A and B are shown apart, each in its own frame.
Chain A
C-alpha cells in the first residue's frame, strides 16, 4: 500500500478538490492524512489497542490496590464506599466517551472523512456500557448507604438519560441500511444530543432541588482524602485506556465489515483461514 493519495487505493476522496488540495500539502501532513483512510488505519489501530489493553490492566491493578488495600475505611459509610473506585470513574468515562463521540461526529461531518464517523459509531456501545456500569454500581452503592436501590439523585437521573441518548444513537445507526447515511445521521444526532446534555443536566438538577424531600445526594462522597482521589484517578485512567482499546478494536471490525469486498481484506481473511 503506497503512501500517496492515488485514487482507488482505498483513500478518502479520489480526485475531488479536497484530494488535490491535500496532495499539495507538505509531505509530513500528507503522511498523517493518509491515515484518514480506513484501510491504512486498520494496522495502527490494532497496534494501539495491543498497547492500551495491557496498560489498562496494569493501571486497574494499581488503582484497585490503592482503593482496596491502601485507602482507609470510611467513618460514615464503612467499606461500602469503596464502590466509588468503580462507580465514579465509570461515570466520568461515560461522559468522556460521549464527548469523543461528538468530536469525531463533528469531524466526520465537516471534513467528510469516513473514518471519523466510523470511530464515533465504534465508541457508542462502549460508552453505553460504561453508562450502564455507572448506574449499576450506583445502585449497589445506594442500597447499603441510603437504603434504596434507586434514588432520583440529579446525577444518577442524568446518567440514565445519557444511557437513553446512547441507545438512541445505536438504534438509529442500526435502523439505517446504507452505512454512509447511518454514519452521518448518527453524527447529527450525537451533536444534537451534545447540545441538549447541559440542558438536560440543568433541568434535572433543577427538578431535583425542587423535590428536595425525596432527594438524597449520592454525589456527596466522603471527604476526599488523597489516597481516595488517587485511586479514583488511576481507575479512571485504566478505564480510559480500556475504552480507547475497545473502541479501536470495534473500529477494526467495522472497517473489515465495510471493506469486505476489498482485496486487502480478502488477503487478510485468507491468511487467517488458509
Chain B
C-alpha cells in the first residue's frame, strides 16, 4: 500500500479530479451502456408480445 491515508488516495497528488474524472466517467459510461441494453431488451420483448397478441386477436 503506497497511500498513507484516504485523503491522499482521493487527492492523487493534486491530480484527483483528472484521475477520478477518468475512472468514474469510464465506469459510469459502461454501466449506462448496460442499463440501455436492458431497456432495449425489455422494449423488444414488449413489442413482440404486443405483436403476438394482435395476431391472436
A78 at the interface (CB under 8 A from B): yes
**Looking across the interface, which residue of chain B has its beta carbon closest to that of A85?**
B23
Decide: B48 and A82 in contact? CB cutoff 8 A: no
Q: Given that A72-B2, A79-B15 are known contacts, is A260 also in contact with B22, CB under 8 Å in the complex?
A: no
Q: Scoring B residues 8 to 42 as 1 if CB is less than 8 Å from chain A, else 0, what string do you get?
A: 01001111001101110110011001100100110
A114 at the interface (CB under 8 A from B): no
The answer for the CA separation of A129 and B27 in the assembled complex, in Å, is 12
Decide: A86 and B29 in contact? CB cutoff 8 A: no
Q: Given that A73-B13, A269-B52 are known contacts, is A253 also in contact with B46, CB under 8 Å in the complex?
A: no
A141 at the interface (CB under 8 A from B): yes
Would you give the shortest CB distance from B50 to chain A, in whole angstroms?
Answer: 8
Decide: B37 and A137 in contact? CB cutoff 8 A: no
The answer for the CA separation of A73 and B23 in the assembled complex, in Å, is 17
The answer for the CA separation of A252 and B41 in the assembled complex, in Å, is 8
The answer for the CA separation of A112 and B15 in the assembled complex, in Å, is 51
Specify which chain B residues have a CB less than 8 angstroms from the CB of A71 in the assembled complex: 2
Specify which chain B residues have a CB less than 8 angstroms from the CB of A129 in the assembled complex: 29-30, 33
Specify which chain A residues have a CB less than 8 angstroms from the CB of B25 in the assembled complex: 133, 136-137
Q: Given that A129-B29, A260-B47 are known contacts, is A86 also in contact with B37, CB under 8 Å in the complex?
A: no
Greatest chain B CB density within 10 A among A80, A125, A141 is at A80
Specify which chain A residues have a CB less than 8 angstroms from the CB of B29 in the assembled complex: 129, 132-133
The answer for the CA separation of A250 and B36 in the assembled complex, in Å, is 10
A5-35 residues with Cβ-Cβ distance < 8 A to B are: none
Q: Given that A133-B26, A253-B40 are known contacts, is A246 also in contact with B34, CB under 8 Å in the complex?
A: yes
Q: Given that A260-B47, A260-B48, A273-B46 are known contacts, is A69 also in contact with B34, CB under 8 Å in the complex?
A: no
A180 at the interface (CB under 8 A from B): no
Decide: A79 and B13 in contact? CB cutoff 8 A: yes
Would you give the shortest CB distance from A271 to chain B, in whole angstroms?
Answer: 9
Would you give the shortest CB distance from B56 to chain A, in whole angstroms?
Answer: 9
A257 at the interface (CB under 8 A from B): yes
B57 at the interface (CB under 8 A from A): no
The answer for the CA separation of A270 and B49 in the assembled complex, in Å, is 6
Specify which chain A residues have a CB less than 8 angstroms from the CB of B40 in the assembled complex: 250, 253
Would you give the shortest CB distance from B55 to chain A, in whole angstroms?
Answer: 8
Specify which chain B residues have a CB less than 8 angstroms from the CB of A64 in the assembled complex: 23
Would you give the shortest CB distance from A272 to chain B, in whole angstroms?
Answer: 5
Specify which chain A residues have a CB less than 8 angstroms from the CB of B49 in the assembled complex: 266, 269-270, 272-273
Q: Given that A256-B48, A265-B48, A269-B49 are known contacts, is A86 also in contact with B41, CB under 8 Å in the complex?
A: no
Greatest chain A CB density within 10 A among B18, B29, B52 is at B18
Q: Given that A83-B18, A126-B33 are known contacts, is A269 also in contact with B46, CB under 8 Å in the complex?
A: yes
